[in-house]
Amino acid sequence: GGMGMGGGGMGMGGGGMGMGGGGGMGGFQNIEPGRVRKVKVTTVCLEHGKKDPNPRIKYDIVPIENFTRNAQVIELCRMIGSGKLDQMSAQAAAWHLTDKLSWQQLVQKIGATHLNGSSERYFHPNQVAMGMRYVQIAQQRAKLRSEAQGKEESLSNQ
């Protein structure tokens, strides 16, 4: 099966390899081994073209860093973990970052094709526009985080 990714927190899979998050563990209580809890989280697929997760399959929750070292993807996952992003816009942003789908490809992606031959878009153009904004914010946050980590390392080397 797939794996679930946590963006700095914990999450559940969405679309094969997926992620959600508790934003730095905020809001997550300890669950004893062997205990089962249902937790509702927003997730996105990080591997375009993979099947959607199946509720009958057991997924493992792993740190996002086990899946990617891309700082922008990691920041996007942290942002999604806050629960404040639109899921479809976040999905467009994720596929742009992880699968290098252009914004044009995302706008043109077909969701459903009907028997009469008409089709529906997977993303509304507004969702793609918001996804572009999410990527800009994730890029800024990744840059700030790497600068902050660089300062910490230079201080510890003195």
Reported as a single tens digit per residue, the pLDDT across 133-158 is: 999 999 999 999 999 988 887 777 76
pLDDT digits (tens, 9 = 90+) for 54-73: 889 888 888 999 999 999 99
Number of domains in the chain: 1
Look up the domain containing 149 and give its range.
Answer: 3-156
Average pLDDT of the chain to the nearest whole number: 83
Give the H or E element holding residue 63.
Answer: strand 60-63
Residue 71's nearest CA partner among 141, 156, 1 is 141
pLDDT of 75 strictly over 50: yes
Region 76-94: mean pLDDT is: 96
Looking at residue 131, its pLDDT comes to: 99
State the residue for tokens 């996002």.
Answer: 64
Residue 67's nearest CA partner among 18, 140, 9, 14 is 18
Dist CA 71 CA 155 (whole Å): 22
Region 13-25: mean pLDDT is: 41
User: Helix 125-156 and helix 71-81: axis angle, to 10°?
Assistant: 110
Looking at residue 34, its pLDDT comes to: 83
pTM recorded for the entire structure: 0.74
Region 89-113: mean pLDDT is: 97
